[in-house]
Structure 1
């Protein structure tokens, strides 16, 4: 079968022929219907090197995956061949306390995982191929009625990641609250939708690109502002009594966006850094409003993925996608790197 593989750090992936996988006990082979192209894949190609993460090439790219059950290993129950499914991307040990409640992202026994702190497309073969071997059936999630694999695939990361970030701040997003989304890209535009679907907050979006601001409005943002020196002042002016945003979600994570987030957040608010733009945020007693909670998040849990897929099946989450064939995948990544894609690129083998 054909697969898009990263063979070395700091290199372009290559489309090559590899053997079709066969499932072992409790394993599942998924016939890929779609695989999302994520900005973090660009970091794998261009920024990572030996020692950055506890795994490395070669492996097939693609950690946002959905399709149909193709083959079942011995002992697998609850799934049938031909069933439409999504794949939960982070693959932990399955035995520690966090994995047992579906939070494989924070597995505390990485030595017992298929690959430490990774998964399909992140150290192990992912879904930018015709078939994907999933090492444990618990990572395979049936799709709800009305949700096809092409639209489900980006929800496994571009939907799950912002959903997890928003969900942890639900207590701070009642009626009368304000949420600020910084960066309306592949994750940020879904983050706007998550906020509108699951909270009563007023949503403000900030981005440098006019087309991204248009996308934010189309996704339900109540106010879309261009990034600039006075962006924080505009955000505060748009909140009751100028108090600032109750929750700030930074989907970029660069120095400028972190500074904007810290200047825009309300006292006792949440500032959540989702993007891995490499920026830093100085924190001292007077550098941020009192009792602001600052956190990073990584992906989300399997139970949260079930909730995300339910929202997708009901039409409440609709990532904006552009589809590409497997032979166009490298081109899709080039467009992503150049900032010429709106929303999410999805590879359809």
Structure 2
């Protein structure tokens, strides 16, 4: 079969021929209907080197995957050949307390995980191929009726990651609250939709690009702001009494965006850093608003993925996608590097 593989760190992916996988006991092979291209893949290509992760290339890219059950290994129950499914991307050990409740990203037995801190497309072979081998049937979530795998694929990360970040702050997003989305890119534009679908908060979107702000406005953001020296002040002016935002979601994670989030946040609010641009934030007693919670998040849980897929099936969360054939996947990454890709790229083998 054809697969898009990363041969080495700091290299470009290549479409090559590899053997079609065969499932062992408890495993499932999925026929891929769509595989999302994620900005984190660019970090694998450009920034990682030996020692950056507990695993190394070569491996097939693609950690946002959906398709149909193709073949079942012995002992697999509850799934049928031809059934549409989404692949839950993080693959933990399956036995620790976190994994048993479906929170594999925070697996505490990394020595027992098939790809510590990763999964298919992150250390093991992912879904940018005609078929993907999933090492445990528990990583498959049935698709709700009416949700096409091409639309479901980006929801497994670009949907699940912002959903988890927003869900943990639901208690701070009642009517009258304000949520700020910094960075309306591949995850941020989905975050705007999730905020509108699951909370009563007023949504403010911030970006450096006019086209990204237009996208956010189309998805329901009540106020859009170009990032600049006075953006935090503008956010505060837009909140009751100038108190600031109850929840700030930073989908960039650079020094400047984290500083903006801090300056715009309300006391007893949340500042959640989702982006991995490598920024830092000095935290001390007087450097942050009182009782402001500053946290990072990574992916989300398997039960949360089922909830995200339900939102997708109802049309409440619909990532803006551009489809690419497998042979054209390198073009998708090129457009991501250039910043010319709007929304998410989905590779359709």
Matched, 1:3 2:31: no
Q: How does 1:24-63 map to 2 (within 5 A)?
A: 24-63=24-63
Q: Which residue of 2 aligns with 1:292?
A: 292
Q: Which residue of 2 aligns with 1:118?
A: 118
Distance 2:232 2:45 in 1: 34
SS state at 2:99 partner: helix
Deviation of 1:209 (Å): 0.2
Q: How does 1:1-349 map to 2 (within 5 A)?
A: 1-349=1-349
Deviation of 1:225 (Å): 0.6
Distance 1:56 1:177 in 2: 44
**TM-score calculated relative to the size of structure 2:** 0.99
Distance 1:220 1:24 in 2: 46
Distance 2:131 2:323 in 1: 18
Q: Which runs of 5+ in 1 are unaligned?
A: none
Q: Once superposed, what is the RMSD of the aligned Cα atoms?
A: 0.5
Distance 2:193 2:129 in 1: 29
Q: Which runs of 5+ in 2 are unaligned?
A: none
Distance 1:93 1:256 in 2: 37
4+ aligned runs moved over 3 Å, structure 1: none
SS state at 1:277 partner: coil
Deviation of 1:212 (Å): 0.2
Deviation of 1:287 (Å): 1.3
Distance 1:290 1:92 in 2: 36
Distance 1:240 1:146 in 2: 41
Distance 1:53 1:283 in 2: 27
Distance 2:86 2:269 in 1: 34
Q: What is the CA deviation profile of residues 272-325 of structure 1, one whole-angstrom value per residue up to 9, with x for unaligned ones? A: 000001111111122111110000000000000000000000110000000000
**TM-score calculated relative to the size of structure 1:** 0.99
Give the number of aligned pairs: 349
SS state at 1:233 partner: helix
Q: What is the CA deviation profile of residues 55-112 of structure 1, one whole-angstrom value per residue up to 9, with x for unaligned ones? A: 1101000000000100000111111101111000000000000000000000010111
Distance 1:154 1:346 in 2: 7
Distance 1:317 1:187 in 2: 12
Deviation of 1:28 (Å): 0.5
Distance 1:193 1:87 in 2: 22
